[in-house]
Amino acid sequence: MHLRTETADDYQEVFDLNYRAFGNREDESRLIERIRESADFIPELSIVAVENEMVIGHILLSGAKVTDGTAAHNVIALAPIAVHPDYQGKGVGGRLIEEGLSRCKAQGYGLVLLIGHPSYYPKFGFTPARAFGLELKQFEVPDEVFQVYELQEGQLGDIKGELRYPEAFF
């Protein structure tokens, strides 16, 4: 299995993969399409896992903002991530997350935020975000589900305010 940046040739496979992984629903596949067409899309942060020339996993990280009064900080939102059902539980998701975080760090971003399962993401260093002065109002989720990862030391606690998911998420 290897990881690489998604190309336009992968779009159909990524659509089908997300459809399957999310229980035969299109919502996440359509979300990916909307993000790709938006200004918040960062091509290098759409990463596929490939085995035998088949796309078996995909992660998308894209631009979002944390706003605090007049200040707006550029951060990264992780969503969605999917691994083909036949390949789940083998570390592919973990590899995609680690590669995604490493690319975000290399691009100079400070924080990655997500809404996700509270027993999965902490394995990779995510921690509940509200404890650090980060808020989420667009979606009503429990504290442990709204999570953050600090890419650059000092950013957590420094960047405070409300996470605003862009239009593409709605």
Whole-angstrom distance, CA of residue 67 vs CA of residue 159: 9
Q: Does the footprint of ligand COA cover residue 60 (CB under 6 A)?
A: no
Integer Rg of the chain from CA = 15
Q: Does the footprint of ligand COA cover residue 129 (CB under 6 A)?
A: no
Nearest distance from C-beta of residue 106 to ligand COA, angstroms: 21
Q: Which span sits near ligand COA by CB under 6 A: 31-39, 61-69, 81-89, 141-149?
A: 81-89
Q: How many whole angstroms from its chain centre is CA 37? A: 16
Helices then strands, counting H and E runs in the chain, come out as 3, 9
Whole-angstrom distance, CA of residue 35 vs CA of residue 29: 10
Q: Does the footprint of ligand COA cover residue 61 (CB under 6 A)?
A: no
Q: Which span sits near ligand COA by CB under 6 A: 35-43, 66-74, 85-93, 151-159?
A: 85-93
Please compute, for residue 156, the number of CA atoms within 13 A of its CA located in the half-sphere on the CB side: 18
Nearest CB to ligand COA, comparing residues 22 and 161:
22
Binding mask 87-126 for ligand COA (x = CB under 6 A): -xxxxxxx---------------------xx-xx------
Q: Does the footprint of ligand COA cover residue 83 (CB under 6 A)?
A: yes
Nearest CB to ligand COA, comparing residues 70 and 119:
119
Whole-angstrom distance, CA of residue 131 vs CA of residue 80: 23
Contact (CB, 8 A) for 129 and 141? no
Place of tokens 């990779």: 124
Q: Does the footprint of ligand COA cover residue 76 (CB under 6 A)?
A: no
Q: Does the footprint of ligand COA cover residue 74 (CB under 6 A)?
A: no
Q: Does the footprint of ligand COA cover residue 64 (CB under 6 A)?
A: no
Do you find a cis peptide bond into 166, omega within 30 degrees of 0? no
Q: Which residues are near ligand COA by CB under 6 A? A: 21-22, 79-83, 88-94, 116-117, 119-120
